[in-house]
Amino acid sequence: MASALALITGCDKNKGGGSDEPTGGGFVINATVVDGDDYNDEIATVKAEMENDEEETFYIASGKYANGGFKLTLPNNVSEKHLYAINETFDDFDGTISDPNAKIGAIWISAFDENGKLIGEFYQEYDGDDEGIEANYLYVDRKVIVKGYDDELEFDCSFKKGWNIVYGIETDEGGKITTQKPSGVNLKWYYYYFKDDKSTPDKNITKLQQPFFKNK
């Protein structure tokens, strides 16, 4: 299937990857971007961006782009002013949220040139014949379980306090959002550049990102 998650076309899918791990100093994202060396002269800095319910933007981590990839260390603790109530992210949820007072925050991972101009974003995804998968990073201020349906998406998420990876899975049968990492697939990092005629580009939020991004 040609997944709606495939934002990048014409990429060499045999490259790309990286690792994610919690450390004493924060949650570390090590990313090797597909065809990443092609962007060494274009991208200077990578930043992790959050937006709260007042549409204020915060950069919580940054790193240099080099050798076809980047490393970001997300802080162990995120201020409440960067977060929003989890139940505010749904339109018509039919299910159970174990603690409706839980607050969350999602990140974009953005690319900047040497002049500090925002020029693109990074996505971690898998585009297979039968399914598309996209990974996103969320901070949650407490343990909370989300199970049910919203806008034809199934939710099966068990969040721990701190950083979580949530997976959006799209198949011919429908979509699912889960914190359980799919087995047998290799998610890779891709760079999506903004068109030159968009000086202040809108965030490119896919259908499977929307439930946990406040400004949908």
State the pLDDT at residue 19. Answer: 61
- pLDDT string in tens for the chain (216-residue length): 322 222 222 233 344 666 665 554 579 999 999 999 999 999 999 999 998 777 778 899 999 999 999 999 999 999 988 898 898 888 788 999 999 999 999 998 999 999 999 999 999 999 887 889 999 999 999 999 999 998 788 999 999 999 999 999 988 888 999 999 999 889 999 999 886 544 444 445 454 555 565 544
State the pLDDT at residue 212. Answer: 63
Among 206, 133, 205, 135, CA closest to 171: 133
Do 78 and 142 meet the contact criterion of CB atoms below 8 Å apart?
Answer: no
State the pLDDT at residue 17. Answer: 65
State the pLDDT at residue 129. Answer: 79
Inter-CA distances, 31 with 105, 108, 109, 117, 211, Å: 21, 14, 11, 21, 24
**What span, in angstroms and rounded, lies between the C-alpha atoms of 47 and 63?**
7
State the pLDDT at residue 128. Answer: 81
State the pLDDT at residue 11. Answer: 32
> Phi and psi of 51, rounded to 5°?
-135, 130
